[in-house]
Structure 1
Amino acid sequence: MRAFLFPGQGSQKVGMGAELADVSPVAREVFEEVDEALGQKLSRIMREGPEDQLTLTENAQPAIMANAIATLRVLEREGGLAIADKGNCVAGHSLGEYTALCAVGAFPLADTARLLKLRGQAMQAAVPVGEGAMAALLGADVEKAEALAEAAAQGQVCEVANDNDPTQVVISGHRSAIERAIALTKEHGIKRGILLPVSAPFHCSLMQPAANAMAKALDDCPPRGFSLPLYANVTAAPVSDPAEELGLLVEQVTGRVRWRESVLAMREDGMEDFVELGGKVLGPMVGRIDRDAKVTSVVMMADIEALAKEIG
């Protein structure tokens, strides 16, 4: 059984999608449709930068989605494979959950781009720049991270944001609380804490204004029926009901990304083969969660051709 995975923020880089766009009209169509939906030349920023423009949350989120959907569309139209036929479920990391939903027909491409643009803007606006922060805890399991976050909070917000894999947990909250947490890592048996280069504290309760904005946006543009079940970030469980998924997408803005648990749940449900489309971030995480899982990362045309040959 096979799961298709879609990456989240941090997987963006200048030049993303350029090779696909150069060789595939199908990929170019995706980038052009996203540009038109957003009323900006996002594809140019993806191809040429500058990097600081690409890493802006409101640009990075739709860019990562566009790159992954372009990869998927080339696989489907030029590789002759439909993920509804070749896959058993989908999952995405944070914004990747929207990409996954687009991939299985819950959102049209243009709507997905607009929702992610708004999501990025709302998340950036929720907390004044400099007041929030995130840190990656290396050599930490989720229990150690929770204990550290509780000790560092001291009346402020300091919460586990991403349970990525057995060796990496991300915390999020007020900047001073995150800095306290980094200083306390050794005392909690954690190898190291690294402040992340992000402009807002994602996936913690400080994001509530952004969750409110997404609730309104999703009420106006709700997900439709989808062709494969999706493992939701906040529950680490499969969902097939669009109305339920709408609520989970709102909850996701402030909630924990339970990626490690999601992968374990997919394995328990029989998934053996994990294919990451449009990035090389989730594949290594899956490998650290379960060494027996088969992992493939698909980014370039050669990767698409190899996958089409293997599973076609």
Structure 2
Amino acid sequence: MRAFVFPGQGSQAVGMGVAIADASAAAREVFQEVDEALGQNLSRLMADGPADELTLTQNAQPAIMANAIATLRMLEKDGGVRLAAKADYVAGHSLGEYTALCAAGTFDLPTTARLLRLRGQAMQAAVPVGEGAMAALLGVDRDRAETIAGAAVDSILAERGPPLVCTVANDNDPGQVVISGHRAAIERAVALAKEMGAKRALLLPVSAPFHCPLMIDAATAMEAALLDTDLSAPLVPLFCNVDAVAIADPGAIRVALVAQVTGIVRWRESVLAMQAAGVTQVVEFGGKVLAPMVKRTAPDLAAISIVSPAEVEAFAKTL
């Protein structure tokens, strides 16, 4: 059994999508369709930058999605592959869930692009710039990360109060957990992390504290948008971030997409759940981030990343 998976924010880079677009008319059509849906030449920004503009959440989210879908479309149209025939499940990391659902037919491409533009805008607007932060804790599991986050909040509360938010945002693999919340609490957690068992802790270059309770206004915005959006049942089930279970009911998908704005991305648990469901191969489209996480979580799973035209062609030959 096989799962197709799709990366989240942080996978963007100037030049993304250029090679795929040069190699495939199907990929070019994806970028053109996204540009038209957004009323923006996003494909030019992806190709030429500047990097700081591409990194803006409202641009990065649809760009990462477009790049991954273009890669998949090259496989499907040029390689004669149907997702439903070659994948048993889909999954995505954070915004990658929208990409996964687009790939599986729940959303069409223009709808996905517009939802991700709104999601990026709503997440950026939820917390004033500079008030939130995120940090990666390396060499710790989720339980240890929660202990570090709690210690940071308690130490600040003891000094001056009121309580600040510092919570696990992404449980990526057995040795990589991301925390999110108020900047002061995240910086305190980074300072405490090494003496509390982390090998390393570092602030992440993000513009907002994703996947924590501070994103509640963004969750409200997405709930309203998704209520106005038609969802089709996916061609194959989605392993969702918030519960790490496979779902296919459109109503359940809508609830999960709202919950993931403030909830934990349970990627490690999702990988283990896919393995327990019989998945033996995980294929990442449009990035090289998730496959290594899969291997660190479940070494027995085959995991590959597909980014370049050569990788698309090589994978097609194995199907």
SS in 1 for 2:106: coil
- CA distance in structure 2 between the aligned counterparts of 1:304 and 1:79, rounded to whole angstroms: 8
* 1:224, distance to aligned residue in structure 2 (A): 1.3
The match for 2:223 among 215, 225, 246 is: 215
Equivalent position amino acid for 1:158 in 2: C
* 1:296, distance to aligned residue in structure 2 (A): 1.2
* 1:58, distance to aligned residue in structure 2 (A): 0.2
Is the 1:134–1:198 contact (alpha carbons within 8 Å) kept by the matching residues of 2?
yes
After TM superposition, list the pairs within 5 Å mapping 1:121-270 onto structure 2.
121-153=121-153, 154=157, 155-270=163-278
| Aligned residue in 2 for 1:71 | 71
- Count of residues paired in the alignment: 311
Equivalent position amino acid for 2:57 in 1: T
- CA distance in structure 2 between the aligned counterparts of 1:173 and 1:217, rounded to whole angstroms: 25
Is the 1:7–1:96 contact (alpha carbons within 8 Å) kept by the matching residues of 2?
yes
| Aligned residue in 2 for 1:107 | 107
| Aligned residue in 1 for 2:293 | 285
Equivalent position amino acid for 2:228 in 1: D
* 1:23, distance to aligned residue in structure 2 (A): 1.7
Q: Which runs of 4+ in 1 moved over 4 A?
A: none
- CA distance in structure 2 between the aligned counterparts of 1:197 and 1:297, rounded to whole angstroms: 24
* 1:192, distance to aligned residue in structure 2 (A): 1.5
1:34 and 2:38 matched: no
SS in 2 for 1:172: strand
* 1:186, distance to aligned residue in structure 2 (A): 2.0
* 1:83, distance to aligned residue in structure 2 (A): 1.2
- CA distance in structure 2 between the aligned counterparts of 1:222 and 1:177, rounded to whole angstroms: 39
SS in 1 for 2:232: coil
Equivalent position amino acid for 2:196 in 1: H
Q: Deviations over 1:73-102 (max 9, x none)?
A: 110000011110001100000000000000
Is the 1:93–1:233 contact (alpha carbons within 8 Å) kept by the matching residues of 2?
yes
| Aligned residue in 1 for 2:117 | 117
Q: Deviations over 1:55-80 (max 9, x none)?
A: 00000000000000001111000001
- CA distance in structure 2 between the aligned counterparts of 1:148 and 1:176, rounded to whole angstroms: 14
When normalised by structure 2's length, the TM-score is 0.97
- CA distance in structure 1 between the aligned counterparts of 2:304 and 2:165, rounded to whole angstroms: 37
- Structure 2 segments unaligned to the other structure (5+ residues): 158-162
Q: Percent identity?
A: 66
| Aligned residue in 2 for 1:60 | 60
- CA distance in structure 1 between the aligned counterparts of 2:230 and 2:240, rounded to whole angstroms: 16
Is the 1:222–1:246 contact (alpha carbons within 8 Å) kept by the matching residues of 2?
no
Is the 2:194–2:201 contact (alpha carbons within 8 Å) kept by the matching residues of 1?
no
* 1:190, distance to aligned residue in structure 2 (A): 1.0
Is the 1:146–1:160 contact (alpha carbons within 8 Å) kept by the matching residues of 2?
yes
Is the 1:13–1:51 contact (alpha carbons within 8 Å) kept by the matching residues of 2?
yes
SS in 2 for 1:94: coil
* 1:24, distance to aligned residue in structure 2 (A): 1.1
- CA distance in structure 1 between the aligned counterparts of 2:142 and 2:45, rounded to whole angstroms: 36
- CA distance in structure 2 between the aligned counterparts of 1:268 and 1:219, rounded to whole angstroms: 33
Equivalent position amino acid for 2:285 in 1: L
Structure-2 change in CA distance of 1:63 and 1:276 (3 Å): same
- CA distance in structure 1 between the aligned counterparts of 2:181 and 2:231, rounded to whole angstroms: 29
- Structure 1 segments unaligned to the other structure (5+ residues): none
